[in-house]
Copies of this chain bind each other. A is one copy, B any other.
Amino acid sequence: MIKVFKHDGGVTSEVDRVDPAWLKPNSGVWVWVALESPTPDEARVLSDVFHFHELAVEDALAEVHHPKIESYGDYLYLILHGIDFQASEHCFTTKDVDFFLGAQYLVTVHAGMSRSIDKIGYVCTKDDRVLGEGPGLLMYRIVDTMVDNYLPEIEKLGERLDEMEEEVFEKPNTALARRILDFKRDIASLRRIVLPQRDAVGRLARREFPLISEQLAYRFRDVHDHLVRLSDEAMFFQDRITSILDAHLSAVSNQLNQVMKVLTIIATLFMPLTVLTGMYGMNVHLPHLPGGEGAQFWWILGIMLAMSGAMLAYFRHNRWI
């Protein structure tokens, strides 16, 4: 699907084709072309009308690419990723949105739906100022919305991390270890997307490209700030999840300790008793304890209880129980 928005003389209107004359420097016309999952036919506008470099066009139409920014002289080519965290809370997906920014135009290319672009596309014809402030500021608006969408997902990740930290000491187990490992991979994936994104926007903010005005650079500095915080957060998460994996091992060892203490207590309580009963089961003449025949059993029982009590007192003393 292809949409063309044109801003001329203070009015934004949706048109159905791009007039190459608009694209000339200082044409007085601002154009936004939004390509959503373009057909090969629709995609031809990139090379035939805009004459973008074939490698950039290839990248824009290909499926997945890492975030980057490239200057082709009179236009910039920027790839960013929108986040799409699955409801199943397990798999982390991002979709790339491609931007071509020229002095008079912005071209966006994305596969599937993009909430950010749909939203801006919707207000674009309602509010003349959206495109009326130029294609650079329009790109800023889209990028800003995309980056803002990361924040709630990051918060969710933080909450999952808190839960895991809780759980690791409650009931460490293999399934939890597996989830920690999965989570760690997710965080690493996030970092791998956010870092190049941060660097690409940082280059916009530092005004490495003449196309970016000082006012626009202030805007991108703000987006860059958000991305710096995101990547900080991701680094911080990665650090925490590594500690949690270490703590898990510690917790498992602690649990093992507890189990072994139970076993040791049981063994220590009952093994001497076994020997005692074994002695009175020997087919030899046994020493007679005070009292009559019937009292023997109770004497032995008493000795057994006394032994057990002493053992328990000893364990209590060592804080084992």
Closest to A180 in B: B247
Whether B72 contacts A218 by the Cβ 8 Å rule is yes
Of the candidates B172, B253, B272, which one forms a contact with A270 in the assembled complex, judged by CB atoms under 8 Å apart?
A: B272
A165 touches B (CB below 8 Å): yes
Check A254 against B284 for contact (C-beta < 8 Å): no
Contact B270 A275 (CB under 8 A): yes
Cα–Cα, bound, A319→B172 (Å) = 12
Query: CB distance A232 to B192 under 8 Å?
Result: yes
A49 at the interface (CB under 8 A from B): no
Contacts of A240 in B (CB 8 A): 184-185, 188
| Known contacts A236-B192, A286-B297, A293-B285; A278 and B273 CB within 8 A of each other | yes
Please give the distance in Å from A315's CB to the nearest CB on chain B.
10
Chain A interface mostly = helix
Interface size for A (C-beta < 8 A) is 88
Chain B residue contacts of A276, Cβ below 8 A: 278
A181 on interface, CB distance cutoff 8 Å: yes
Contact B275 A171 (CB under 8 A): no
- Given the complex of chains A and B, what is the CA–CA distance between A244 and B226 in angstroms? 32
Whether B254 and A173, one on each chain, are in contact in the complex, defined by CB atoms closer than 8 angstroms, is yes
A66-B228, A171-B319 given; A274·B284 CB < 8 A:
no
Residues of A within 8 A of B (CB): 53, 55, 59, 65-66, 68, 70, 72, 165, 169, 171-175, 177-178, 180-181, 184-185, 188, 192, 218-219, 221-222, 225, 228-229, 232, 236, 239-240, 242-257, 259-264, 266-287, 293-294, 296-298, 300-301, 304, 319-320
Q: List 29 A-B contacts (CB under 8 A).
A: A72-B218, A169-B174, A169-B175, A169-B177, A172-B254, A173-B254, A177-B251, A184-B240, A188-B236, A188-B239, A249-B249, A252-B253, A253-B253, A255-B257, A257-B259, A259-B260, A259-B261, A260-B263, A263-B263, A263-B264, A274-B274, A275-B304, A278-B278, A280-B284, A281-B281, A281-B282, A282-B297, A284-B300, A285-B293
